[in-house]
A and B are shown apart, each in its own frame.
Chain A
Amino acid sequence: SAVISQKPSRDICQRGTSLTIQCQVDSQVTMMFWYRQQPGQSLTLIATANQGSEATYESGFVIDKFPISRPNLTFSTLTVSNMSPEDSSIYLCSVRTVYNSPLHFGNGTRLTVT
């Protein structure tokens, strides 16, 4: 399976600032996604990162708050903008290498907003 490197692994940020999370995959993948896991909760899909075009956002998530870039088939970034304490979560990059294969995840970014 693909090796997914995500950084930073954790960060503590102040309210009102922004954080960009990077996701690097060791092979080209068609499907790349960003998930959020709020404390004690399950995983919620934020968006599908599309190579060369705008990301596809799920209901409740907007581009202004969570801008995503995907310049190529191995790299993506997620920015959490204008953060508030409610944004404190684990953010996970995931990939699917082939149709209907399992989702594989990076180690996640544990974000705390104070």
Chain B
Amino acid sequence: AQKVTQAQTEISVVEKEDVTLDCVYETRDTTYYLFWYKQPPSGELVFLIRRNSFDEQNEISGRYSWNFQKSTSSFNFTITASQVVDSAVYFCALSEAGNYGQNFVFGPGTRLSVLP
């Protein structure tokens, strides 16, 4: 069965600090997809990134970077030089290949507060 764990319930940092959000997943499939979403206080869910299980290259997009390590079943998300606008709840999610959405599993989320 699929499972996504985000051990950090809440994180507070001061602006300009770097912060890493942890995500650990469980799956029996060899082909799967991992995602990160951002939910700001306004409530909408914003898609940030998708990785497939065959691509372990790290990815960087501006201040955001993602570290995917199959050996530890982790897909961690780092925000460099955090800003107040980064304050949100961040969800990691897993989808096994062949499951159109019924098994799109979300982690419990990490609430990030960036203080000025």
A79 close to chain B: CB less than 8 A: no
User: CB-nearest residue of chain A relative to B35?
Assistant: A102
- Measured in the bound complex, the distance between the Cα atoms of B97 and A106 in whole Å is 24
Q: Are A99 and B100 in contact (CB under 8 A)?
A: yes
- Measured in the bound complex, the distance between the Cα atoms of B93 and A31 in whole Å is 18
- Interface 1/0s, chain B 102-114, versus A by CB < 8 A? 1010111100000
Least CB distance from A40 to B in Å reads 9
**Count of residues in A whose CB is under 8 Å from the partner chain:** 26
B91 close to chain A: CB less than 8 A: yes
- Measured in the bound complex, the distance between the Cα atoms of B4 and A92 in whole Å is 20
Q: Which B residues lie within 8 Å of A48 (CB)?
A: 100-102
Q: Are A45 and B101 in contact (CB under 8 A)?
A: yes
Indicate whether A42 sits within 8 Å of B100 (C-beta atoms), given known contacts A103-B47, A107-B43: no
Q: Which A residues lie within 8 Å of B42 (CB)?
A: 107
Q: Are B101 and A96 in contact (CB under 8 A)?
A: yes
- Measured in the bound complex, the distance between the Cα atoms of B91 and A107 in whole Å is 16
Indicate whether A58 sits within 8 Å of B43 (C-beta atoms), given known contacts A42-B109, A100-B33: no
Q: Are B97 and A100 in contact (CB under 8 A)?
A: yes
**Count of residues in B whose CB is under 8 Å from the partner chain:** 21
Q: Which B residues lie within 8 Å of A42 (CB)?
A: 91, 106-109
B70 close to chain A: CB less than 8 A: no
Which of A33, A92, A102 has the most chain B CB atoms closer than 10 A to its own CB? A102
User: CB-nearest residue of chain A relative to B111?
Assistant: A40
Indicate whether A56 sits within 8 Å of B33 (C-beta atoms), given known contacts A42-B108, A42-B109: no
Q: Which A residues lie within 8 Å of B43 (CB)?
A: 90, 107-108, 110
Q: Which B residues lie within 8 Å of A100 (CB)?
A: 33, 52, 95, 97
Indicate whether A102 sits within 8 Å of B50 (C-beta atoms), given known contacts A33-B101, A108-B44, A110-B43: yes
**Can you name 15 A-B pairs with beta carbons within 8 Å?**
A1-B47, A30-B100, A41-B108, A42-B91, A42-B106, A42-B107, A42-B109, A43-B106, A48-B100, A92-B45, A99-B100, A100-B97, A106-B44, A107-B44, A110-B43
Q: Apart from A42-B109, A43-B106, A110-B43, what 8 extra A-B contacts exist at CB < 8 Å?
A: A1-B47, A31-B100, A92-B45, A102-B35, A103-B47, A105-B45, A107-B44, A108-B45
